[in-house]
């Protein structure tokens, strides 16, 4: 099957049969896949191509990750050249691309950080939990700092520990019980404040809840607080400007490490290189994945402030070294591709582009979509955007799940892939957008147009049902 948009129905039918008989897919129901599938055989810019010849504007950049867009063939050459030179050697030794990549990340952070390489966002957070615990063992002998404070409705990954840290009940319940070291606090989901308050009279009570929790648990038991600066999966929750500085101050007060999850926010998604840079905070641990390599190959990282890194230095006999290892960490080919990916982002100023194109998109969406009574909120930063759907703006009652899915399906039928938040009954009514950062103005306008029609069709459907 070629990488063009020449329809090839026979090859497509073969792949579908082969897949349905042999593959177990993540998170989607196979019965649904029997009826409708995407078989992606080509991709360029912000567009993906199905083997049946259909093209789609991919307003999700895959899974929030193809930041520089599809079809950058120079990255294939870089991977091939690196694999010809040295395809692999474990990262207990050094290799050129991984050293360069760590140097790039350090520069993007303004210096003072070391990078530990892993293979996915989940693993990057998991390694972060372990760094926090090991650091606490070194620095606070006699204390027992092992707990992570996290937020309800957060998503930090799919492994058991990252799921436990996450706060999405329906993603967790089939795997429970978890060990009890992840403690949850209310999230800054302001449109649906979990504390029933309103900004600014709330005085950011959700940040203060972190202090109450640290005190309640006992500071000598708490290793870290984990936050995704702008929560993505729950439907894009942009916190009040004071929130993260308040969280940082609380962490400092109790010697608790601040761990930021930049798996989606990072690498230009929110209009700055990293999401936390909007808020002037300085994380101790940072997890990155997705945009680090725009998903051209799997690589991710746990980035650690030097004050934490220094705790891992000592004589060999002291056994202070990082007590973790993974086979593929610092993979030379993936690192080489990530290095070039970051260079492309800097050369093409994609973080700035994300800020300006995101502002254009949000403005256009607000102008067009608020004409429909079911548009509750349009929010975001850069090209990370959520459109929350409600039965009416007054009550803010969540739009029925089938209707929200109807919007996603309408967009697909009209050539646009959009996402939907995952947050159980309370938070799964938001359409989410996270397109490649190279999306054009006219593609943004297509996106607005199709969403406008999708909401109009939904309102008509509701009137028909009523
Ligand atoms: C905020 C956040 N953290 C971590 C992860 C886990 O990353 P991965 O799927 O690469 O393990 C995700 C995945 O979407 C995410 O959205």
**Residue 62 in contact with ligand 1 by CB distance below 6 A:** no
What domain count does the chain have? 2
Q: Where would I find the H helices in 202-301?
A: 205-217, 243-253
Q: Are 362 and 243 contained in the same domain?
A: no
Ligand 1 centre to CA of 81 (Å) is 29
- The residue among 314, 347, 380 that closes a domain is 347
- The residue among 347, 367, 400 that closes a domain is 347
Q: Are 327 and 456 contained in the same domain?
A: no
**Residue 157 in contact with ligand 1 by CB distance below 6 A:** yes
Q: Are 89 and 159 contained in the same domain?
A: yes
What letter would DSSP give residue 192?
A: G
Ligand 1 centre to CA of 9 (Å) is 34
Q: Where would I find the H helices in 120-228?
A: 121-139, 160-165, 169-172, 205-217
**Residue 422 in contact with ligand 1 by CB distance below 6 A:** no
- Measured between alpha carbons, how far is 263 from 395 in angstroms, rounded to an integer? 34
- At 423 the pLDDT is 83
- At 330 the pLDDT is 98
Ligand 1 centre to CA of 441 (Å) is 28
Nearest CA to ligand 1 atom 13: 157
Q: Are 231 and 366 contained in the same domain?
A: no
Which helix (H) or strand (E) segment holds residue 147: the answer is strand 147-151
- Measured between alpha carbons, how far is 448 from 378 in angstroms, rounded to an integer? 12
Instruction: Please give the model's pTM, rounded to 2 decimal places.
Output: 0.98
For residue 363, what is the domain's CATH number? 3.90.1150.10
Quote the domain boundaries for residue 99.
Answer: 73-347
pLDDT in tens, 150-166: 999 999 999 999 999 99
Note whether residue 185 is domain-resident: yes
**Residue 5 in contact with ligand 1 by CB distance below 6 A:** no
Q: Where would I find the H helices in 264-384?
A: 306-309, 332-347, 350-369
- At 466 the pLDDT is 65
Nearest CA to ligand 1 atom 5: 157
Q: Are 23 and 83 contained in the same domain?
A: no
Q: Are 332 and 257 contained in the same domain?
A: yes
| Residue 357: strand, helix, or coil | helix
Which atom number of ligand 1 is nearest to the Cα of residue 154?
1
Note whether residue 1 is domain-resident: no
Q: Are 450 and 417 contained in the same domain?
A: yes
Note whether residue 430 is domain-resident: yes
Q: Are 192 and 64 contained in the same domain?
A: no
Beta strands in 197-340 (DSSP E): 222-227, 257-261, 285-288, 300-305
**Residue 121 in contact with ligand 1 by CB distance below 6 A:** yes
Q: Are 227 and 307 contained in the same domain?
A: yes
**Residue 430 in contact with ligand 1 by CB distance below 6 A:** no
Q: Are 107 and 210 contained in the same domain?
A: yes
Note whether residue 4 is domain-resident: no
For residue 100, what is the domain's CATH number? 3.40.640.10
Q: Are 334 and 414 contained in the same domain?
A: no
Which residue ranges in the chain fall short of pLDDT 50? 1-3
């Amino acid at each position: 099957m070629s990488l063009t948009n020449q329809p090839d129905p026979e090859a497509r039918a073969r792949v579908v049969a082969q897949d349905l008989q042999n593959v177990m897919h993540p998170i989607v129901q196979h019965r649904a896949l029997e009826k409708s599938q995407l078989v992606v055989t080509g991709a360029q810019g912000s567009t993906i191509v199905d083997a049946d010849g259909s093209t789609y504007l991919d307003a999700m950049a895959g899974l929030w990750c193809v930041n520089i867009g599809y079809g950058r063939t120079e990255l294939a050459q870089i991977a091939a050249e690196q694999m010809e030179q040295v395809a692999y050697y474990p990262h207990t030794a050094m290799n050129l691309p991984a050293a360069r990549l760590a140097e790039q990340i350090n520069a993007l952070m303004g210096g003072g950080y070391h990078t530990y390489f892993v293979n996915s966002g989940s693993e990057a957070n998991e390694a972060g939990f372990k760094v926090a615990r090991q650091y606490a063992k070194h620095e606070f002998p006699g204390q027992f700092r092992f707990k992570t404070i996290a937020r309800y409705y957060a998503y930090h990954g799919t492994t058991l520990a990252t799921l436990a840290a996450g706060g999405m009940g329906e993603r967790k319940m089939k795997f429970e019980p978890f060990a009890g070291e992840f403690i949850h606090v209310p999230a800054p989901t302001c449109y649906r404040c979990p504390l029933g308050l309103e900004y600014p009279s709330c005085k950011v009570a959700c940040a203060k809840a972190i202090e109450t929790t640290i005190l309640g648990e006992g500071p000598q038991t708490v290793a870290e607080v984990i936050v995704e600066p702008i929560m993505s999966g729950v439907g894009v929750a942009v916190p009040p400007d004071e929130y993260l500085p308040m969280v940082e101050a609380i962490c400092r007060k109790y010697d608790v490490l601040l761990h930021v999850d930049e798996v989606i926010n990072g690498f230009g998604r929110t209009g700055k290189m990293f999401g936390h840079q909007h808020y002037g905070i300085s994380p101790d641990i940072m997890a990155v994945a997705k945009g680090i390599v725009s998903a051209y190959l799997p690589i991710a990282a746990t980035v650690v402030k030097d004050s934490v890194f220094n705790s891992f230095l000592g004589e060999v006999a002291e056994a202070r070294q990082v007590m973790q290892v993974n086979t593929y960490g610092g993979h030379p080919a993936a690192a080489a591709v990530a290095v070039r990916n970051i260079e492309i982002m800097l050369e093409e100023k994609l973080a700035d582009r994300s800020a300006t194109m995101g502002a254009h998109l949000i403005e256009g969406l607000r102008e067009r979509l608020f004409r429909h009574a079911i548009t509750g909120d349009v929010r975001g930063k850069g090209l990370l955007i959520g459109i929350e759907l409600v039965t009416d703006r007054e009550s803010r009652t969540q739009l029925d799940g089938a209707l929200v899915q109807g919007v996603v399906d309408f967009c697909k039928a009209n050539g646009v892939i959009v996402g939907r938040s995952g947050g159980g009954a309370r938070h799964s009514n938001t359409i989410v957008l996270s397109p490649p950062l190279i999306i054009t103005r006219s593609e943004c306008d297509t996106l607005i147009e199709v969403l406008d029609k999708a909401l109009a069709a939904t309102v008509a459907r509701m009137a028909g049902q009523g």
